[in-house]
Amino acid sequence: MAKKAKRAAARVTKKAAVARRAAAHAKARGAAGATKPSAKRVRAPKKALANKQSMLAAEARAARTAENAARKAEKRSIKTAKRAPAAAVKNGNGHPKPSTRPFGQAGKALDGVRILDFTHVQSGPTCTQLLAYMGADVIKVERPGVGDITRGQLRDVPNADSLYFTMLNGNKRSITIDSKHPKGREILDRLIKQCDVLVENFAPGALDRMGLTWEHIHKLNPRMIVASVKGFGPGPYEDCKVYENVAQCAGGSASTTGFREGPPLVTGAQIGDSGTGLHLALGIVSALYQRIRTGRGQKVLCAMQDGVLNLARVKLRDQQRLAHGPLKEYSQFGEGVAFGKAVPRAGNDSGGGQPGWILKCKGWEDDPDAYIYFITQAPVWGAICDLIGKPEWKTDPDYATPNARLPRLKAIFGTIEQWTMTKTKFEVMDLCNAVDIPVGPILSMKEIAEEPSLRQTGTVVEVDHPTRGKYLTVGNPIKLSDSPCEVARSPLLGEHTEEILGKVLGYSASEVAEIKTSGAITPAEKGARAEAA
């Protein structure tokens, strides 16, 4: 019995040590931006130790307490990860034990991350909307009475926020603050202390002119990550204001888009704005991860020129290949047109070295989108020949190999088109997919809006809005199996001002009343200046 009690005592002591280590680890995490350990969880094993009369009972209690604490911690982490470290549930490697909750019920990926969203127009709001989809609490700061300029741009419903705004600002809260008003600055300083990330895409220097320099922010909150979109990185153009198409042109997209005979073209996909917002989101999440180790924030910069170039990198690849000879997969090679010094526009050529082209389908005369993208992928060449009624091409030396086909691609696609024009794009899709030929119907936005599978996956979502009614938006294109995403409508201008002042910043009711009369959260005389992107 004495031996048993000794062993039990040893076990309890070990448990207490584990709890102490967990508490120390949690404390470190707290300093680095995670959560503070719950005093209850750490105290429980100590209490058990104190109970000398019944070591075994104490151990059982300690185990139960730890289990309860773990369960509670998990529950709290769903509400706010800030206050809920998994401190009491570490395994031997110092990592939290895998949650026992069913997937999809353990909160969201960015629970507990609070974003001070100082973004406007498209690039910045794209980024913060994605972070909100991932569970971050995004507080959008807007100019009183005006708000994000896009609220009123391209309006389709009178007196309601535009789709331009609503589709880029879902899942956020809105507070109005005049950042140039002394009281407004004080509120912003409080927000800086309460947030993990400040995201902005003002014109170069605008944030500094508000007094929100990196030094100021870092002094108030050394853990704060300051993330910015600018048009250009450091260099000759760093002071320039930039919109989408400027970035597409400066990033190498426009010069490589369009037909050889025509002018450079910008694309419909907003690779400059939304593309850069996406890059910025990755930078922010990486900085949050690094902060767990370092305990401090950092600056994250995404220049729109860089973001576009990153997406156009295959064209920089081709630029270097040009030095070693013509780009054989470009149809101009087959047409015998000489290459110049820079990568040319390649029309609808496939960029990946698998020859492809856009071909007419049944109904093309009336329907501008009755087309299909058809790829003559080498491994399925035989299947293509059989399908289009040209089985002899399988063995004809002029057609049998990819190299033999290169000089005659235009004629080959002409022959395939004779076949696609006898079918609708969806019939072509079905017939080709059945034999593994890669094709893609040209889908109109109408077809995409009505596509049931996109609704089912939550990629296209219908949201209800108090002033404009129902609208469609693009949900989270990134699907996480343990972080569900419910898409919520965008906030009305200043809808959450009082809620944030009181609940997040801790202002009392009388202080809020004072702030209201100070002019810091009510319309200023100056209007906004931004134009549509």
Which of 209, 293, 313, 503 touches ligand COA (CB under 6 A)?
209
> Binding string to ligand COA for residues 263 to 292, with x set by CB under 6 A, is what?
----------x-------------------
203 binds ligand COA (CB under 6 A): yes
> Among the candidate windows 57-65, 72-80, 93-101, 115-123, which touches ligand COA by CB under 6 A?
115-123
Which of 28, 78, 210, 309 touches ligand COA (CB under 6 A)?
210
140 binds ligand COA (CB under 6 A): no
For residues 191 and 530, give the distance between their C-alpha atoms in angstroms, rounded to a whole number. 25
Tokens found for residue 13: 């002591």
Size of the site for ligand COA (CB under 6 A): 26
121 binds ligand COA (CB under 6 A): yes
Smaller CB separation from ligand COA, 243 or 381: 243
Smaller CB separation from ligand COA, 229 or 501: 229
Whether the CB-CB separation of 269 and 311 falls below 8 Å is answered with no
Catalytic residue among 196, 273, 318, 349: 273
Residue 141 phi/psi, 5-degree rounding, is -95, 125
Q: Please give the residue whose beta carbon sits closest to ligand COA in the complex.
A: 530
Q: Which amino acid is at 139?
A: I
> Among the candidate windows 17-25, 204-212, 383-391, 430-438, which touches ligand COA by CB under 6 A?
204-212
Shortest Å distance, C-beta 315 to ligand COA: 22
- Count the alpha carbons within 13 Å of 195 in the hemisphere toward its beta carbon: 26
- Residues near 336 by Cβ (< 8 Å), separated by ≥ 6? 407
Shortest Å distance, C-beta 123 to ligand COA: 4
Residue 193's closest CA among 222, 151, 158?
222
Smaller CB separation from ligand COA, 179 or 256: 179
> Among the candidate windows 65-73, 83-91, 178-186, 435-443, which touches ligand COA by CB under 6 A?
178-186
200 binds ligand COA (CB under 6 A): no
Tokens found for residue 58: 């104490």
Tokens found for residue 68: 């309860």
Shortest Å distance, C-beta 117 to ligand COA: 11
Concerning whether 369 is annotated as a catalytic residue, the answer is no
Whether the CB-CB separation of 215 and 140 falls below 8 Å is answered with no
> Binding string to ligand COA for residues 212 to 231, with x set by CB under 6 A, is what?
-----------------xxx
Which of 161, 178, 196, 318 touches ligand COA (CB under 6 A)?
178
For residues 10 and 6, give the distance between their C-alpha atoms in angstroms, rounded to a whole number. 6
> Among the candidate windows 86-94, 98-106, 238-246, 446-454, which touches ligand COA by CB under 6 A?
238-246
For residues 259 and 358, give the distance between their C-alpha atoms in angstroms, rounded to a whole number. 13
For residues 192 and 178, give the distance between their C-alpha atoms in angstroms, rounded to a whole number. 15
Torsion sign, CA atoms 51, 55, 57, 61: positive
Smaller CB separation from ligand COA, 19 or 250: 250
Residue 42's closest CA among 5, 76, 89?
89
Q: How far from the centroid of its chain's Cα atoms is residue 400's Cα?
A: 44
Shortest Å distance, C-beta 206 to ligand COA: 4
For residues 383 and 404, give the distance between their C-alpha atoms in angstroms, rounded to a whole number. 17
Q: Which amino acid is at 269?
A: A
Smaller CB separation from ligand COA, 143 or 223: 143
Shortest Å distance, C-beta 498 to ligand COA: 17
Which of 179, 377, 473, 497 touches ligand COA (CB under 6 A)?
179
206 binds ligand COA (CB under 6 A): yes
For residues 359 and 413, give the distance between their C-alpha atoms in angstroms, rounded to a whole number. 8
Using a 10 angstrom Cβ sphere, with 0-12 exposed, 13-18 middle and 19 or more buried, the burial of residue 510 is: exposed
Q: Are strands 439-441 and 371-375 parallel, antiparallel or unpaired?
A: antiparallel
Which of 164, 165, 243, 374 touches ligand COA (CB under 6 A)?
243
Smaller CB separation from ligand COA, 387 or 533: 533
Across the chain, which distance is largest between two alpha carbons, in Å? 95
180 binds ligand COA (CB under 6 A): yes
Tokens found for residue 452: 């049931």
Shortest Å distance, C-beta 143 to ligand COA: 4
Q: Which amino acid is at 236?
A: P
117 binds ligand COA (CB under 6 A): no
Tokens found for residue 154: 């391209």
Which of 90, 143, 291, 465 touches ligand COA (CB under 6 A)?
143
Distances (CA, A) of 104 to 70, 75, 78, 486: 18, 13, 11, 12
Q: Which amino acid is at 218?
A: H
> Among the candidate windows 29-37, 165-173, 198-206, 373-381, which touches ligand COA by CB under 6 A?
198-206
Torsion sign, CA atoms 479, 299, 83, 100: positive
For residues 275 and 293, give the distance between their C-alpha atoms in angstroms, rounded to a whole number. 29
Which of 202, 330, 333, 413 touches ligand COA (CB under 6 A)?
202
For residues 279 and 233, give the distance between their C-alpha atoms in angstroms, rounded to a whole number. 14
300 binds ligand COA (CB under 6 A): no
> Among the candidate windows 27-35, 159-167, 235-243, 392-400, which touches ligand COA by CB under 6 A?
235-243
Which of 122, 162, 305, 420 touches ligand COA (CB under 6 A)?
122
Q: How far from the centroid of its chain's Cα atoms is residue 135's Cα?
A: 12
Beta strand ranges found along 333-456 (DSSP E): 356-360, 371-375, 439-441
26 binds ligand COA (CB under 6 A): no
177 binds ligand COA (CB under 6 A): yes
With residue 424 as reference, give the H or E element that holds it. Answer: none
Shortest Å distance, C-beta 125 to ligand COA: 8
| Residues at the site binding ligand COA, with contacts judged by CB under 6 A | 121-124, 141, 143, 177-180, 201-203, 206, 209-210, 229-231, 241-243, 273, 529-530, 533
Catalytic (active-site) positions: 273
